[in-house]
Amino acid sequence: MINETNIAAMLLRKYGNIMSDEERNQLYESVGDLNQLAQATYNLGAPFNAREAELLSRVAGNMDEDTNFEKDGDLWRDDILDQYAKYVHNYEYTYNNEAKKIDPNTDTKKHHIGPMAQDLEKVNPATVNQDKSGYKTVDTGRLALMNAGAIAELARKVERLST
């Protein structure tokens, strides 16, 4: 069923990346309940744009238990960008045969580039999964949301510097 909240979520999806702060706030006020807007946004599914990720992060601790958007609540901190710079690095790697224990379909010859779970865990533990044997893997969906929030924060900092 399409209602005002679903329409607002669709507007945020389509125009979120070009929306000003004032326009975003007007959209939020038109809905009233940010939890409902976040739920409607979440229901649209990933990938989320920066504005959607910002909204989801903002209300993650206030959503219904059924949503399971963020397993550890709203973990955004003011120093998150500093933590990114300090701990998160890209590595070039291939999976070893141990990785096949986690996922038998793992290609041990394919090269990958990306951060390691152990580095991300220092910045935001919610982006890391650990199985019962202790293997850590990156939760790419949560990482994408974290990255969208970080990109939005960087964009706001650049905007402030350029004015």
Determine contact, residues 48/70, Cβ cutoff 8 Å: no
Strand 91-93 relative to strand 136-138, pairing: unpaired
Dump the DSSP string for 114-163. E--HHHHHHH-GGGEEE-TT--EEE-HHHHHHHHHHHHHHHHHHHHHHH-
Residues 58-107: tens digit of each pLDDT: 776 554 445 444 443 344 445 677 888 888 999 998 988 888 887 888 89
Mean pLDDT of all residues in 99-117? 88
Cα–Cα distance, 13 to 29 (Å, whole number): 17
Q: Where are the domains of the chain?
A: 4-62, 80-162
What are the CA-CA distances from residue 2 to residues 5, 8, 9, 16, 44 (Å)? Answer: 8, 10, 10, 19, 12
Cα–Cα distance, 40 to 102 (Å, whole number): 33
pLDDT at position 112 over 50: yes
Neighbours of 136 (CB within 10 A): 14
pTM tops 0.75: no
Structure token digits, residue 15: 């125009």
Residue type, 83: Q
